[in-house]
Amino acid sequence: MSSHVFGRSAAQLPTALRGDGCYLYDAEGREYLDACGGAAVSCLGHSDAHVKAAITRQLDALPYAHTGFFTSEAAEDLADLLIQHAPAGIDRVYQLSGGSEAVEAAIKLARQFHIENGEPQRHRLIARRQSYHGNTLGALAAGGNAWRREKYQPLLVETYHIDPCFEYRHRAEDESLEAYGHRAANALEAELLRLGPETVMAFIAEPVVGATAGAVTAAPGYFRRIREICDQYGVLLILDEVMCGMGRTGYMFASEAEGITPDIVTIAKGLGAGYASIGAMLCTGRIYDVIAQGSGSFQHGHTYHGHPLAAAAARAVLESMASQGLIAQVQARGDYLAAALQDRLGQHAHVGDLRGRGLFRGIELVADRASKRPFDPALKLHQRIKAQAMAEGLMVYPAGGTVDGREGDHVLIAPPFIISEAQIDTLVDRFATALDRAID
Ligand code: PMP
């Protein structure tokens, strides 16, 4: 294969040729069980007949119409479907081409909201260490990985980072989960008071942290306290569900499990499920109305926003999820996967933490279980596990992150929702083998 692809060293990667159900096949005919959906993307597997037919139909009828001139049935239907599933109060949808675009739009919307609401001085953003929000400049500013941001300073959005809610690493031994959740959330209040709350536009967080931390769920009550603090200080709450949304955690929106409604929420990945490049930003009527009654419109737009072909694919993804009862299945298969991982790896000398929700599971590897000491970052253990897993015919996501200022080793398991129990057994078998080979 030629290696003119700009980016990763494509020459060293196998060439993907074909997908079928939960499996991918390369040009040499090797089979890979997809246990991470790439990056939690392929929630329907690789050959959903309903989605493929819907794309073909839309392609025959109309691939594209610019949103400056037309709306389309596909985009309208998709917006309606998303609103039906969204937390109460969220009733506006803006369709984009991916996750970073959705986060950018969310940040801009928050800024415009405050300007038109008579508080133009609110321009700062608070985010969390150990988070990922995308690679465009605004989203990059929000992300928690300092090493990703370093080269591109100064970034465009003035962002401050607080610690995430991460009980495995940060809860004190004698502290209850609830007390820890409350304490972790209060870090937001402390940061607001330090900065001056009247200068802050929004707080952004992933309800379940994905790419940088391996499925870290928040302690009970954390997000309810966050919601209270945001309301008290007039700060908007943006939840980034690009990875954990769209059914991945057993809820269509991960925030449902937290019992709160964000002001703005972003989704992508599972929305197109790999069949289309699509993301969306959703917000409450309260936000939209301020802008509608102010300047009249959100100062934004992309050539491919509301793309009919992408919207038709996403509409079909939601239909497929509903007709196959996949959200309920995520809960059941997620429990099965969690039990199988616990059974096989719960006592493993180097498995520090098994965590997650639904079919969004994280495994944290440590050099020493008692002290939770991470492996030497130079080993890049998470990358070695990924490589060994590929050799075993298994795709897992190497979610390296930052543990206490150091590189940590997390692996994310996020298989398609259609995975069977037998396939989960294979997944856990192959993973356990890959793990031991990587550590050897
Ligand atoms: N937010 C989160 C939580 C993500 O996980 C990602 C992608 N890993 C993004 C935003 C950016 O999405 P995209 O890669 O589609 O731009």
Describe the chain by its helix, strand, coil percentages, rounded to 5.
40, 20, 40
Three-state SS string across 25-43, please?
A: EECCCCEEEECCHHHHCCC
Strands annotated E in 98-173: 124-128, 159-162
Give residue 132 CA to ligand 1 midpoint distance, Å: 7
pLDDT digits (tens, 9 = 90+) for 269-294: 999 999 999 999 999 999 999 999 99
Residue 145 pLDDT: 86
Instruction: Answer yes or no: pTM beyond 0.95.
Output: yes
Residue-wise burial string across 115-149, b where 16 or more C-beta atoms lie within 10 A, e elsewhere = bbeeeeebbbbbbbbbbbbbebebbbbbbbbeeeb
**Per-domain residue ranges of the chain:** 10-48+325-439, 52-323
Whether 284 and 292 have beta carbons less than 8 Å apart is answered as no
Whether 26 and 17 have beta carbons less than 8 Å apart is answered as yes
Site to probe by mutation for ligand 1, drawn from 242, 244, 264, 397 as the one with most ligand atoms within 8 Å of Cβ, is: 242
Band of pLDDT at residue 378, cut at 50, 70 and 90: confident
- What is the distance between the alpha carbons of residues 432 and 174, in angstroms, rounded to a whole number? 32
Residue 147 pLDDT: 84
pLDDT digits (tens, 9 = 90+) for 53-109: 999 999 999 999 999 999 999 999 999 999 999 999 999 999 999 999 999 999 999
- What is the distance between the alpha carbons of residues 391 and 395, in angstroms, rounded to a whole number? 9
Give residue 269 CA to ligand 1 midpoint distance, Å: 8
93: left (phi over 0), alpha (psi -120 to 50) or beta: beta
pLDDT digits (tens, 9 = 90+) for 163-202: 999 999 999 999 999 999 999 999 999 999 999 999 999 9
Residues whose beta carbon lies within 6 Å of some atom of ligand 1? 39, 98-100, 103, 132-134, 206, 210-211, 240, 242-243, 268
Top CATH class of 52-323 equals: alpha beta
Band of pLDDT at residue 9, cut at 50, 70 and 90: low
Other beta carbons within 10 Å of 326: 20
Whether 130 and 343 have beta carbons less than 8 Å apart is answered as no
Place of tokens 């943006």: 238
Name the least confident of 8-12, 15-19, 72-76, 335-339.
Answer: 8-12
Whether 254 and 208 have beta carbons less than 8 Å apart is answered as yes
Nearest to 410 by CA among 169, 177, 188: 169
Residue 148 pLDDT: 86
The fold of the 10-48+325-439 domain, in CATH, is Aspartate Aminotransferase, domain 1 (3.90.1150)
Which class for 351: exposed (0-12), middle (13-18), buried (19 or more C-beta within 10 A)? buried
Is the pLDDT at 341 greater than 90? The verdict is: yes
What is the torsion angle, in degrees rounded to the nearest 10, for the CA atoms of residue 301, residue 296, residue 106 and residue 299?
Answer: 40
Site to probe by mutation for ligand 1, drawn from 239, 266, 269 as the one with most ligand atoms within 8 Å of Cβ, is: 269
Band of pLDDT at residue 403, cut at 50, 70 and 90: low
Two tokens at 3? 């290696």
Nearest to 359 by CA among 10, 35, 126: 35
Residue 406, beta-bridge partner list: 403
Mean pLDDT over 114-124 rounds to 98
Give residue 38 CA to ligand 1 midpoint distance, Å: 12
Whether 321 and 45 have beta carbons less than 8 Å apart is answered as no
